[in-house]
Amino acid sequence: MAAAIERSLSPQGTTALNIGDTVPLPVGADTANVRLGPPLDDANLSLLPLVGVWRGEGHLHGPQETPDRVFGQQLTISHDGRGFLRHESITWVFDEDGTALPAGREVGWWRPQPDGVIELVLADADGVVEVFYGTAQTLASWSLGTDAVLRTTSAPAVTGATRLYGIVDGRLAYVSERATAEHPMRPYASALLDRQAG
């Protein structure tokens, strides 16, 4: 332990460094702008309008007797030139003083298939992994439902989910529903996000 501490404090140490200070990867960075970075793979054309950085407000829908909770969200849909898109969602809530506090996080992959089916694999920080299948409903809307839900023993008892995404007047809107061991499918979250990049 002493040797590790000594190494970290040396001029070549890492104690003063953070994520942005690391040496760049030997592969190109993802892009959330189809005009910059690697070209978008043709497999992703049905998802093209989703690519970007989106930010805005949403509502977490509780049981009928519980009021909705407002949250902030940034959703980044990016690619590295291959036939899938990367999905990263970061959300926050506000305490009574208006201070932003970290909330839910999820990462995953949009995986369009040659037959038009879209696979969406998402893992969230609560310990739930959802595997969705769906299709493009129009050029700017996508509907998906879970085929499988895996969860850790400490995760919410999610048993199924649906998601509907769409571009509405240049903004990204979505609605999600969830079923749990205690209740059937019902509204879970919705948001309206403005494009920040892409």
List, for residues 136-188, the tens digit of each pLDDT value: 999 999 999 999 999 999 999 999 999 999 999 999 999 999 999 888 999 99
Give the pLDDT confidence of 104-145 residue by residue, as tens digits: 999 999 999 999 999 999 999 999 999 999 999 999 999 999
- In this prediction the pTM is 0.87
* Fold topology of 29-197: Lipocalin (2.40.128)
Measured CA to CA, the distance from residue 36 to residue 160 in angstroms comes to 37
Measured CA to CA, the distance from residue 198 to residue 51 in angstroms comes to 7
Query: Which tokens belong to 76?
Result: 């980044």
Domain boundaries, the chain: 29-197
Measured CA to CA, the distance from residue 138 to residue 85 in angstroms comes to 19
